[in-house]
Structure formats: structure tokens, C-alpha cells
Structure 1
Amino acid sequence: MMRIKLPNSYFEDHESTIRLIWRETLYADFEKKLLERAIKRKFRIKTTISAEDGYLIVDAENEEIERLITFLIQSHLGEFLRSRYTKRKVLYIHEGMNVPLLGYNAFGLIDRGTNLIQVRGSTGCNVSCIFCSVDEGPYSRTRILDYVVDVDYLLKWFDEVAQFKGKGLEAHLDGQGEPLLYPFIVELVQGLRENPNVNIISMQSNGILLSDKLIEELAEAGLDRVNLSIHSLDPEKAKMLMGMKNYDLNHVLEMAEALINAGIDVLFAPVIIFGINDMEAEAFIEFARRIGAGKRWPALGFQNYVPYKFGRHPSVRFLSFKKFYTWLRELEEKTGMRPLVLKPEHFGMHKRRFIPLEFHVGEVVKAKIILPGRIEGEMLAVARNRLIEVINTHAKVGEEIKVKIVRTRHGIYVGMPI
């Protein structure tokens, strides 16, 4: 009997399938019968495949069978890959695909004309916040696909961007969802820390997937700050806002303290929905003070809820930003916690030259469709070594089409077929 285990993964038995859990956040299901049939065809023996204690069990003793099974699983992993949290199919983007990592909002790199570069290694989220601006999470009604970018490929593109932008950069790990779903998060932080142009590495997170072990690894890798998305200090209200009945607020609060104890600064970033959690602002301030948040940067970054076209729209009151900033200034006066009205200089952010735009609004370009998009009617095309999000299209992968550019803001390109 053979016990097979692959690097950074373990196996689970699911009746007719074997499930490979890869790097905790991804999985792939393989039909037992197909694997058993492959062994029978090649070696003329009948075997039974199962999983136990994380190992793949084959009732035979043959190193060649082990090599065959390993080859079949590894070679077909990308075909069957899915997210453990969204259950959506995952496209694994690597260097051999020649997919540009500039131009698209969901993955890759984003330059908004400052010394901060947004680094997005994956999509998807483990919660479904009722106010989510991009309708993410397990209960999304619009997102149909996820992406994961190979860490070496992501770091290669980051280095090219960093050389253009210069020294003193902040690499900010964020995304349309939860960055800790990225299966190479520790390796990404390590790689960014080794980049001579990077001074600060920060990350947005809801904190749910943090553990003492992961925090220790992130601290050793060089993570400087986590912007922690906690929206209520009341456990039941927090579950409601997160859209998850099993949300464990106490765990996240414990992890906030663990981050600080490990030398990683914490900024609490609650989304304030007036009439629901605005009355908790002072409690957030007191908690941040008590655990020592905000040692190098502000301890709190209250955010005003804003309804977005493709996001979720709870029936709540939207407060104008003028009134929101008045509310923040009154909180500063009442609690003595400053700053609550945040400015770029509080984070060492300043303007830097943009990576030059490759297209202008109204331009018509010939582009090749290379990937499906995240929502119905969306495809991703490439031209001039940039990605273009093509909307309202029925084009298929491999087709070349003419696209009219309708948006170029911050180097994120959106086009429509003509």
C-alpha cells in the first residue's frame, strides 16, 4: 500500500472523488475511477484509491504508479482548480501565458500616480459583506470566475514597475476580496521585502484567516502594517455586516493583538453605515488605544459607505462626504484621537510620475481576447502589452477584435467592441 503526499497540499476523500487541497485556499477534485482506470491501462492491475490522514492511498506497491498518479494530478491541477471559499473556477496565471499584469482592476498591479503600488495576486473573498462594492464572496450573484497569479511572475512585473517608479515605494496588498486567499502570500511579502525600491509593505485584510503561525511568518517575511476590516465590535452585528453567520469576531480581535505583538502595525478600517454602526466609533477608538494600534501610522481609518454600481446595496442612509468629514472632526475633538481625517502624508504617500498610458479614450485598437472575464459579457484582451477589460462582448478566447477604449483612469483600461 502506498501513501502519496504532494508539496504544500493534502488529500481528502469525497466518495467518488479525491480532493486535493493546495496551499489551504485552493482545491481540485479528481475522479477516483479515472485515476484507477489510468493505472489499469498502463500497468494491467486493478487498484483502489482513497484518502486518509491527508495522504492519497493506493493499494499497491509500485514507484512507477506513484509517479504516474503524481504526474496526472500535477498536470491537470490547473484544469480543475477552484477556490475553497467562493467555489468558483480559478484561472492560474503564469509567465508562460504572457498575460500582462497592468491594465486590469481585478489582478496584477495598479499605479495611481503615487509611491504606492497596489499588488493584487488573486480574486475572491471568504465573506459576503452586505455593502461590498464589487459583490464579492461566497454569495456573489455576479462573479463567475477567480484568478491566481503565480508569485514569481507577479514579482517580476512588480520589479519592472518599481524600477520605473523609483525608491521609497509602498507595496500595498489588496484586491477585489481578501488578500489572504492568495496562496503565496508569505512568499509574496518575502519577495517584496527583497526589492531594493520597497520601503513599506502593507496589506488589507478582514483578519479571519489569520493565525498565530501565519502572523509569525508574515512578520518574519517583512510585513509592516495590516489595515484590518472590522465593522462592528458587537458579535451579532458583525455577523450581519459580514454576511456570514459563522463570523468569529473574537478570533479577529485576538489576531489584531497578535499582529501588534509580532511587530506588525494595525490600522482599523471600519466601513461606517450611519444608523447601523456609527455609534460604535468611540468603542473602536478605545479598543485601538488599549491594544496599541497605530504605532507608525494612524490607528483608525473610518470609511464612509458608498453605493457602487456593481456592488451590494443595503437599504441604508448614505451620508455625504462633507457631513462625514464633519462627523470625523467632531470625533477627533471629543476623543482626542488624531488623525481621523486621513491624508496621504499620514502614510508617507506622495505623487510620483505615472506609468505612461498606452491608450487614450476614444481610440480604436485591435486586441486579442486571451481570458474570460469575471462577469457575464466581459472578456480580457491584450494589446501593447496591456490588459483591456472588454465589456458587452460575445467574443471568444483567441479572437482578434476591434475595441474602442472608453476608460483609461489610473492605467485601468476598459473597452467596448465595435
Structure 2
Amino acid sequence: MSTQLTTPTDRQSAEALAHSKGEPSWLVAQRGQAAELSATLPWPKPEKVKIERWNLTAVGQYEATTAVSSLTELPQTVQELIAEGTENLLVQKNTGVVWSQLSKELADKGVIFTDLETAAKEHSELVEKYLFQAIKLDENKLTALNAALWNGGVFVYVPKNVEVELPLQAILYNDKAEATFAPHILIVAEDNSRVTYVDSVVTAKDSVTAEFTHPAIVEVFVKPGALVRFGSVHALGESGVDLSLRRAVVEKDGRIEWIIGDLNDGNTVSDTKSVLVGHGSTSDTKVISVGQHKQQMSLTTQAVHFGKSSDSNMITRAVMRDSASAIINGITKIEHGATKANGVQAEKVLMLSSKARGDANPILLIDEDDVTAGHAASVGQVNPEQVYYLMSRGITKPDAERLIIHGFLAPVVDEVPVEAVRDQLNQLLERKLEG
């Protein structure tokens, strides 16, 4: 079964699809509203990146998916990303989830880990309370488009005082450009809970050559005293455009840790933002990226401080090869009243080619006196003597560049506190460097 959706879609087709999937009435109405808004709202306007020149309308069509009976039915490149021995795994293929598994121990504690479509039906009131509350569906065309079209997706709910010791893992992949691939991830961590969520967003190798757009949204709600570790590695194909917005709302003494690897082969807009609304709330963000060929990338990290004694730290490291270009934005905003807040950021870009381009923009917006804030930024080319030295020792130029890239990114990768995320970063980084 397939249902064609044009872009911008119309209310009638969006609602018809929602009805056909048995979605609750509030979600049907929300999709219809978003479909209408997507026709009038503008696209986001990342600084110095003209995304309107990209093909942003290749969202494909909805196609029902069939669950797999064994993980061995998945593509080999997907199987390689599954953490060994994991009991908590969700896999989405194109428009729908094909595998979902949660340990009985966590289920008995009230933990919910399932696809968002199922959660909207089985936990309707809970999903309705949080869906499109951290990111409003009418912010721009991208948010409205995701609200109208999102499919599959992930829903995580951790009850009060529950600690999830092992990571929850999701793999979201596409192997068909003509199928809509627009996941929405929603995580709610109640008071004093702990959870680590890890995902990989990938294109099955050599299976997609036509153009496609991946409009994705992540919303995380960190309640008082809770800790959420969110690790995500994106490695979509060269013909794709990745448009990913992530936002966390962090309450009193809560903590969000973002670990993002933007390793796509196509054009990318990645925006990761923490809103520190509670006193003593904290955010730590680490982003790495590698661009090559003619890729264009806009990578933004943000922290907005409302709470007193709130703390944010942001680190971005990007490597540009060939004719790739990247705009790296770090934005720390300390609102009036957020006394004793502290915001620190650092952006570094390494260029391995005279044709590569990098632009690091640290931005501090301070509306309060009694705070501390700092930034560091650097953009530079690799020292050719390093390459020549390695080549003089019998190392080929591609291998020499690979060693330099690993050395440049290692200070961030090695600090990643979650082993599963480190493994995925290194694995997908090697896959990208090998072409």
C-alpha cells in the first residue's frame, strides 16, 4: 500500500493517511493543521547556507512496512550497528518500524520503549501532552512538514526514580529514496530517572541513488533531577539531504548530554539546542563531523539559560576534505535572571584541502551581569609537513589523512562516556573515510 503525499502536502491527504493508520483524533487534527501550515511557512534560514538551492521536497510517499522475524533479515550494514547482546532495540526501515524489543525487567518497571506511532495509540494522553511542545509545529516549514508526515519514530518514557542501566538502541535506515523517511523521536525522563538512548540514522549501502529528504525532529524532556544521555550518529547517503532539529527542555537539577556524529555524505542541517529552564540544570554537547566532496553543512549547537546556576558546555570539531564546506555556529544565550549561569563553547574546523571551507562562529548573548561565559574557535588547514612526514614513512596519502582526522577528532570521541556511542562513531567514521 502506498499513499502519495506531495510537498507541501494538503490537509485532506494528511488526515486521510492518519485515519487509515487508526491514529487518535487529536493526532489526525494535528497532522491536518501541520499540512496546511507547511504550504505557507518558510524554510529555516541557516546562516550563510542557502538551503533553498537544495532539493528539499523529495520526501517520497508513505509505504506500509512488514516486520522482520529475525535480525538476520536486515541489511548487513545495519546488522553491524546492533550492539552485541542488546535486549532493548528498535529498528525502523523507511516509513515504519520492523523490529521492536524491550526487556521484561524494564517493562515491569514501567519503562516504555516503542515506536511513536504505536505509542500515540496505546499511550495517547501521554504522547499528546509532550508531542511538539519542545519544538512547535508552526516554527517553520521543516517543523510543519515533520508534523504532517512523521512516521515510525521512537518514544521513550522512564518513570520517576527508575534507572535504565543499559542503553536503549534504535537504528533508523532507508533503502528506498521514494519512501518517506521522516522519524520523530520523543523522550520523557521523569524526576530523578536515568536513561541512555543511542541511535544510528543511516542509508543502506549502495541501495539509494535517487534524491531524498530526511526531515527529522527530536524532543527530550528532562524532569527535575533526571539525567538523559542522547547519542546519535547520522550517516545518510550522498543523494540525501539531512534536516535534523533536536531540542531538550531541562528542569531543576536535570542534565542532558548530547553526543552527535554528523557523518552524512550529503548536505546537512543539524541544530541541537538545550533549554535550561530549571535552577541547577546542565547541558553538555559534543559534536563531530566530517565533510567531503562537495558537501555543504550547517552545524549549530545552542544553549539557552533561564535557570539560576545553570551550566552548559558545547564542543564541536569538524573536518572538511575536497571541496566540502561547513558553517559551525555555537550560540550561548543567558537570559535576564539566570544569575550564576555558566556557558562555555569551543568550535574547531580542520581543512585538508585548499578548496575546503570552514567557518566557526561562536556567539555569546548575555542579558545578565552575574554570570561567566567563554568561547574559543579556530579554523585552519592541516600542516602539509605532517602529511609529508607520514608519507615518508611509507604511509599512503589517504591513510595519512585518515590518521590526522582521527587524531583531530580523538579528544572529543575519547571523552564520549557511552561505549556504544564511541563504537558507533568510530565504525561509521571509518565507513565514511573508506568511501
TM-score by length of 2: 0.30
Greater per-residue helix proportion: 1
The answer to which structure has the higher strand fraction is 2
Higher relative contact order (CA 8 A, sep 6+): 1
